[in-house]
Amino acid sequence: MNFRPTDEQNMVKDMVVRFVNEEIKPIAAELDSTHRHPGEICRKLGEMGLMGVAVPVEYNGAGMDNVTYVMALIEISRGCASCGVIMSVNNSLYGYPIKTFGTEEQKKKFLAPVAGGEVEGCYALTEADAGSDAASLRCRAELKGDKYIVNGVKKFITSGNVAQYCVLAATEDPSKGYKGILNLIVDLKNTPGFAIGTIEEKMGIKASGTAELIFEDAEVPAENLLGNPGEGFKQMMMGLDAGRIGIGAQACGIGRAALEDSLGYAKERSQFGKSISSFQAIQWKLADMATELDAAEMLLLKAAWLEDNGYDFEKESAMAKMYASDVAMKAAVEGVQIFGGYGYCTDYPAERHMRDAKICQIYEGTNEIQRVVIARKLLGMR
Ligand code: CAA
């Protein structure tokens, strides 16, 4: 077993660390307080190949692997959790299904601009009454001639407020259950009948817009169907398997930020006449944070490696997402504790890390659903 990254992976990581320290960390607090979409950062991430890390170069991606994607996304999320989730959605939830199931024309038209970082993509699955139970979605897509007529409302869609393109999950016929589900690529800026609804006020990841998408007799060309009708649910599940590696990496990056800040603060803060880093109560917290985050990173890199090498990675991506988000949340809470009263105030980023970490236990499948996915695989139920 070789734990040493390749020269290319190290080069990318060094480039991303520099970019994060120089251009993302200095504006992270401002992005959090203004809730502004970090468009300028997204364009630069595109120029660096980070909006389509594992997308082939002919579709404007970097043509690298998912291990590199994880390494880069941990760093980006260490700088800003909102930038991290936008990057994750472009690469995974939007990019993966088009890369995997799209036609040549679909890849050129819809994957290339997002992988190249010119525009954002989003993935619209969740509805008010279809969250964990994804197969119960009700957004309707009826084929009429050479168009699908789409009616329905999608909820909690990451980047839905800014995205140019969307992979939309809809049903041809709800009575068919999961077999009626299909995925359509929608040009959100050029589809009459589409409107952006409520933009949510959230606890964290405030610079990442979370929007309601409303479709009322919206016309989508039939040629924008991904694969075949009836394949949509399995495409979606496979996309989520890939996406969960991204969310795990986002979580790990947030946890790393909490650890990094805590280490710095513990060394500079004095009580009882000495640095608080000399107290075992603080040392043990730091040791646990570092150990658990390293373990999470190993799970993430393993899941990414399995994906890169063509193995089944459904269980491993669920394990990595679940574990990384649980330990990131724990690290962020301990970070606030180490900062004490200052940790509870907005002068320091500790409270932001805690607010940002929480969503990673919820989206792209709650951690309860990840346990269902893992247990089903262990028990041979799928
Ligand atoms: N890969 C391929 N096929 C899969 C699969 C996978 N990972 N998982 C299931 N399938 C197949 C099954 O084999 C089955 O097919 P067959 O009948 O041919 O065997 C079919 O899909 C239906 O599977 P299930 O019966 O297991 O489906 P289910 O209704 O019980 O649902 C679930 C399973 C795991 C609970 C699923 O609904 C799920 O993952 N729910 C969570 C949804 C989710 O993650 N939402 C996140 C929204 S996106 C988001 O959050 C983005 C963001 O903001 C950043």
Residue 364 appears among annotated catalytic residues: yes
Q: How far does the centroid of ligand 1 lie from the alpha carbon of residue 373, in Å?
A: 8
**Residue 6 DSSP one-character state:** P
Q: What is the predicted pLDDT for the residue at 229?
A: 86
* Residues paired with 184 in a beta bridge: 168, 225
**Which ligand 1 atom is nearest residue 134's CA?**
37
Ligand 1 pocket, mutate which of 157, 237, 367 (most atoms under 8 A from CB): 237
Q: Considering the candidates 297, 334, 351, 364, report the single residue annotated as catalytic.
A: 364
**Which ligand 1 atom is nearest residue 89's CA?**
54
Query: For 31-85, what is each residue's pLDDT tens digit?
Result: 999 999 999 999 999 999 999 999 999 999 999 999 999 999 999 999 999 999 9
Q: Is the pTM of this model over 0.85?
A: yes
Nearest-CA residue for atom 26 of ligand 1: 382
Query: For 144-184, what is each residue's pLDDT tens digit?
Result: 999 999 999 999 999 999 999 999 999 999 999 999 999 99
Q: Considering the chain, what is the average pLDDT of its residues?
A: 98
Query: For 345-358, what is each residue's pLDDT tens digit?
Result: 999 999 999 999 99
Residue 1: pLDDT band with limits 50, 70, 90:
confident
Nearest-CA residue for atom 8 of ligand 1: 237
Q: How far does the centroid of ligand 1 lie from the alpha carbon of residue 300, in Å?
A: 20
Q: What is the predicted pLDDT for the residue at 211?
A: 98
Q: How far does the centroid of ligand 1 lie from the alpha carbon of residue 114, in Å?
A: 25
Could you list the beta-strand ranges (E) of the chain: 121-124, 140-144, 147-158, 165-171, 181-187, 194-199, 210-221, 270-271, 274-275
Query: For 199-258, what is each residue's pLDDT tens digit?
Result: 999 999 999 999 999 999 999 999 999 999 889 999 999 999 999 999 999 999 999 999
CB-based contacts of 154: which residues, under 8 Å, 6+ apart? 124, 125, 126, 127, 139, 160, 168, 212, 213, 214, 215
Q: How far does the centroid of ligand 1 lie from the alpha carbon of residue 4, in Å?
A: 34
**Which ligand 1 atom is nearest residue 363's CA?**
50
User: Once rounded to an integer, what is the mean pLDDT over residues 115-122?
Assistant: 98
Residue 382: pLDDT band with limits 50, 70, 90:
confident
Say what the alpha-carbon torsion angle 340, 345, 348, 352 is, to the nearest 10 degrees. 100
Question: Could you tell me if 122 and 94 are in contact, meaning their C-beta atoms sit under 8 angstroms apart?
Answer: yes
Query: For 289-328, what is each residue's pLDDT tens digit?
Result: 999 999 999 999 999 999 999 999 999 999 999 999 999 9
What's the first-to-final CA gap in the chain, in angstroms? 29
Q: How far does the centroid of ligand 1 lie from the alpha carbon of residue 215, in Å?
A: 24
**Which ligand 1 atom is nearest residue 126's CA?**
47
**Residue 159 DSSP one-character state:** T
- Ligand 1 neighbours (beta carbon < 6 A): 85, 89, 93, 125-126, 132, 134-135, 156, 158, 178, 233-234, 237-238, 240-241, 314, 363-365, 369, 372-373, 382
